[in-house]
Amino acid sequence: MEEAGIDWLVTGGLAIGALFGVIVQHYRFCVVAAVGNSLLIRDHRQLLAFALAWAVAIGGTAALELTGTVDIAAASYRNGRLDWLGTSLGGLVFGIGATLAGGCAIRTLTRTAEGNLNGLLALIVFALAAGITQFGLLAGPRIGLAAATQISLSGNDAGLAAVLGVSPLIVGVLVVLVLLGLATWLYRRTREPAMLLAGSLIGAGVAGGWYVTGRLAQDEFFPTPPSGVTVSGPLARVSNMITAGDLPALSFAMAFVIGVLVAAFVYSVLMRRFHLVHVRGESVPRIVVGAALMGIGATFAAGCNIGQGLSGASTLSVESLLAVAGIVLGIMLAVAWLNRRESRAARR
Tens-level pLDDT at each residue, the chain (348 residues):
456 667 899 999 999 999 999 999 999 999 999 999 999 999 999 999 999 999 999 999 999 999 999 999 999 999 999 999 999 999 999 999 999 999 999 999 999 999 999 999 999 999 999 999 999 999 999 999 999 999 999 889 999 999 999 999 999 999 999 999 999 999 999 999 999 999 999 999 999 999 999 999 998 888 899 999 999 999 999 999 888 777 777 899 999 999 999 999 999 999 999 999 999 999 999 999 999 999 999 999 999 999 999 999 999 999 999 999 999 999 999 999 999 988 887 776
- Return the closest-CA partner of residue 83 out of 141, 136, 166, 143: 143
Cβ atoms of 47 and 192 closer than 8 Å: no
Indicate the angle between helix axes 31-40 and 84-101, nearest 10 degrees.
70
pTM, full prediction: 0.95
Q: What is the Cα–Cα distance from 9 to 215, expressed in whole angstroms?
A: 10
Q: What is the Cα–Cα distance from 73 to 218, expressed in whole angstroms?
A: 15
- Return the closest-CA partner of residue 125 out of 299, 304, 294: 294
Q: Where are the alpha helices (DSSP H) in 102-220?
A: 105-113, 117-135, 139-149, 160-164, 168-190, 193-211
- Return the closest-CA partner of residue 158 out of 101, 95, 73: 73
Which amino acid is located at 20 in the chain? F
- Return the closest-CA partner of residue 108 out of 288, 316, 302: 288
- Give helix then strand counts, H and E, for the chain: 15, 2
- Give the total number of structural domains in the chain: 1
Q: What is the pLDDT of residue 1?
A: 44
Type and span of the H or E element at 315: none
Q: What is the pLDDT of residue 241?
A: 87
Q: What is the Cα–Cα distance from 79 to 60, expressed in whole angstroms?
A: 20
The distance between the two most distant Cα atoms of the chain, rounded to a whole number of Å, is: 69
Q: What is the Cα–Cα distance from 220 to 66, expressed in whole angstroms?
A: 20
Q: What is the Cα–Cα distance from 232 to 257, expressed in whole angstroms?
A: 9
Residue 42 sits in which domain range? 2-347
Q: With DSSP H G I counted as helix, E B as strand and the rest as coil, what are the percentages for the chain, rounded to 5?
A: 75, 0, 20
155 Cβ contact list (under 8 Å, min separation 6): 80, 162, 163
Q: What is the Cα–Cα distance from 129 to 132, expressed in whole angstroms?
A: 5
